């Protein structure tokens, strides 16, 4: 039974990947209610995934890489769809995509190392703000309410930029990113070897 439970977090991660096209199609055909329901279900599986992984010590290399990727793919796919539909400005998705591309590249670099990249408070706030912004956008379209969601996106973008800078600073301080002194030493060694 315990072995089966350990596979549940990864299974939930895969479910989130499967739900992405369902959400996108729902939004594309203006079925905001269905899109909202499936998005909330996807978000709940993300929470459940984390709880089970921590409680049963079911953290795996697959989960460390694919879990955040599933989350970001879900969020960015929805925001991209909303941008294409003209609901939010395109520059928002551009900034968020660039930020996530940099972080995913970093996660790929750290894949397989003896390191668990836990979310920091600023990363969690960014995720929560994006969740609230998306939910607000869908509810506004469902009930034809005044568009207040753009201000939440502004906040999310500010925190996204702040979190990117903070993550880079964190890994730089931990020695996972090369420092100037290290680069100089490497260059000196290379030059010495060439001579």
Q: Is the pLDDT of residue 43 over 70?
A: yes
Number of neighbouring beta carbons within 10 Å of residue 166: 15
Condensed to tens digits (0 to 9), the pLDDT of residues 93-106 reads 999 999 988 877 77
Domain boundaries, the chain: 2-194
| Region 22-33 average pLDDT | 97
Distance (Å, rounded) from C-alpha 193 to C-alpha 104?
A: 34
Q: Which of 118-122, 130-134, 152-156, 168-172 has the lowest mean pLDDT?
A: 118-122
The Cβ of residue 194 has, within 10 Å, a number of other Cβ atoms equal to 6
Interatomic CA distance for residues 194 and 185, integer angstroms = 14
Specify the residue for token string 């301080």. 173
Average pLDDT over all residues of the chain: 84
Position 113 pLDDT exceeds 60: no
Superfamily for domain range 2-194: CDP-alcohol phosphotransferase transmembrane (TM) domain (1.20.120.1760)
Given this model, what pLDDT does residue 54 score?
84
- pLDDT score of 188 more than 70: no
**Lowest-pLDDT choice from 107-111, 130-134, 149-153:** 107-111
Is the CB of residue 45 less than 8 Å from the CB of residue 15? yes
For residue 143, give Cα distances in angstroms to 5, 17, 81, 168. 40, 28, 19, 41
Q: Token pair 């730089």 is at which residue? A: 172
183: pLDDT confidence band, cut at 50, 70 and 90?
very low
The pLDDT, as a whole number, for residue 109 is: 66
**The token pair that represents 154 in the structure block:** 């502004």
The residue ranking higher by pLDDT, 194 or 172, is 172
- Return the top range by mean pLDDT from 4-8, 96-100, 136-140: 136-140
**Residue 189 clears pLDDT 50, i.e. is over it:** no
Q: Is the pLDDT of residue 42 over 90?
A: yes
Distance CA 24, CA 30 (A): 10
| Residues, the chain | 195
């Amino acid at each position: 039974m315990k072995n089966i439970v350990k596979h549940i977090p990864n299974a939930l991660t895969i479910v989130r990947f499967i739900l992405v096209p369902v959400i996108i199609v729902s939004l594309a055909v203006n079925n905001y209610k269905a899109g909202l329901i499936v998005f909330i279900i996807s978000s709940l599986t993300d929470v459940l995934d984390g709880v089970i992984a921590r409680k049963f010590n079911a953290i795996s290399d697959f989960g460390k890489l694919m879990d955040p990727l599933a989350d970001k793919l879900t969020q960015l796919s929805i925001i991209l769809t909303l941008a294409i539909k003209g609901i939010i400005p395109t520059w928002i998705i551009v900034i968020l995509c660039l930020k996530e591309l940099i972080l995913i590249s970093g996660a790929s670099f750290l894949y397989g190392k003896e390191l668990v990249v836990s979310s920091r408070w600023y990363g969690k706030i960014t995720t929560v703000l994006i969740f609230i912004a998306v939910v607000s956008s869908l509810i506004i379209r469902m009930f034809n309410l005044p568009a207040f969601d753009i201000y939440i996106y502004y906040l999310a973008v500010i925190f996204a930029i702040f979190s990117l800078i903070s993550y880079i600073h964190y890994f730089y301080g931990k020695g996972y990113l090369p420092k100037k002194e290290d680069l100089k030493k490497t260059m000196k060694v290379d030059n010495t070897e060439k001579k």
